[in-house]
A and B are shown apart, each in its own frame.
Chain A
Amino acid sequence: MNKSMPEIREPTYFVLASLLDGSLHGYAIIQRTFELSGGRVRMATGTLYTALDRLTGEGYVRPVAEEIVNGRARRFYALTDSGAAALRAEATRMAAAARLVTSRDARRRAASASRKARPA
């Protein structure tokens, strides 16, 4: 990972991933994050806005539109280019970390299969 890029924690990763398909408002981000993480990340509202503030400060996310629903402002957030790059970098890092284990398992399975196949 790029040294200047801050470490991204799992909930933040899913917040960024939830914006891959387009801009979303706060509640939609909570729902999408829950779906994408297979129900593992259930963000509380306070946690979501802390994350959005920091992601906006970092330039990874930006508010793109605002609408009034039932007299209350609803702001939509979108992923920026640097946010998409940070997300991709984190995904690549995690994939490399996963390959470290899965490729070893695959090699072990292949070796064990070839031993079984060898005639006595």
Chain B
Amino acid sequence: MTALERRCRLLLHAYPAWYRRERGEEILATLLQASQPGRSWPAPRDTRALIMGGLRVRAWRTQNPGMTVSLRQAMLGGAALALLWFVAQDLAGLSEGLVLAWTHTTTVQPHIGPWIAADALTLAAVAAAWFAPRPAVAVLALAAAAAQECWSGRIMAIQPAGLLILLAILAPGRNRPPRSWLWLAGALSAANLLDQATGVRPLLPIYNAISPTLTVLPWIVLGAAVLWAAIDARPAIAMAVWLASTYLVIALLEHLEQVGELRPWEWQVPAAGSAILAAAATWRLRRQAAL
């Protein structure tokens, strides 16, 4: 085996193992034929193309779902992330009462039950968007939206209810978004829960050590989604939906609920940020959908 072949084989690891098994030898043969004689390293443009090609296969396999389906998947991903984030915030708010009830066997406040039931329905609707048929997602999402509206009795419930209706509309029959998105959204929301849950803090000795990471984690993921748009623009659109629904809508609803004074930057920054991100990522998605 020549040095060039060894290095080309190493580069092929950008592709997933199933793809290498299927196409690895064929790509390698073409790569070696296309390389100038006497070379011991693959050309920089070949290196770049192989890495990008491998990451593309990892991101969205070899299918091109087209612009409409991709946009739908991206918005569904954003709605799911925003809903999981909302449930995490809700549970964080309830954590003190829940932990007290669990550790000191005090009585749970009566309003907690319906809130948790509405959140459980919301979680079920999000999971159904990935695993269940379309009618089941629609029924669960609409039931969860009704539960959020009726049982929580707050203006703030408009946000999850709206997102759940969006989930019911966007629920795909086929061409579901990758499952990895659901795990990532779950992990981000769990980090948010830990970050916000004052009741849980005393139970976690390492809380102080991990707290700064938990706070910046969503922004790191947002930055990664922006960079990842070179490979796949859908996560960036999903993050734009999350940014708008979590920061912009919440700021406006808090103002309506008169929780606090609405300062201009509180809505202008998320509005501008999500609009710019969504526009740039949609433009990128258009290019991605072209053959």
Query: Which positions in A face B, CB cutoff 8 Å?
Result: 6-9, 12, 25-27, 30, 44-51, 53-58, 60, 69-70, 72-75
Number of B interface residues at 8 Å Cβ cutoff, please give it. Answer: 29
Q: Which residues of B contact A55 (CB under 8 A)?
A: 291
Q: Which residues of B contact A9 (CB under 8 A)?
A: 290-291
Do B26 and A72 touch across chains, with their CB atoms under 8 A apart?
yes
Q: Which residues of B contact A57 (CB under 8 A)?
A: 62-64
Do B62 and A48 touch across chains, with their CB atoms under 8 A apart?
no
Do A54 and B62 touch across chains, with their CB atoms under 8 A apart?
yes
Interface SS of chain A: helix
Query: Which positions in B face A, CB cutoff 8 Å?
Result: 23, 25-31, 33-34, 43, 45-46, 48-54, 56-57, 62-64, 66, 289-291
Q: Which residues of A contact B25 (CB under 8 A)?
A: 72-73
Q: A45-B31, A46-B51, A58-B291 are in contact. Are A26 and B26 (CB under 8 A)?
A: yes
Q: Which residues of B contact A58 (CB under 8 A)?
A: 64, 291
Interface SS of chain B: helix
CB distance from A116 to the nearest CB of B (A): 46
Q: Which of these, A6, A44, A50, A75, contacts B46 with CB under 8 Å?
A: A44
Q: A44-B45, A44-B49, A49-B27 are in contact. Are A6 and B34 (CB under 8 A)?
A: no
CB distance from B28 to the nearest CB of A (A): 7
Do A45 and B49 touch across chains, with their CB atoms under 8 A apart?
yes
Do B57 and A72 touch across chains, with their CB atoms under 8 A apart?
no
CB distance from A71 to the nearest CB of B (A): 8
Q: Which residues of A contact B46 (CB under 8 A)?
A: 44-46
Q: A6-B64, A46-B54 are in contact. Are A75 and B26 (CB under 8 A)?
A: yes
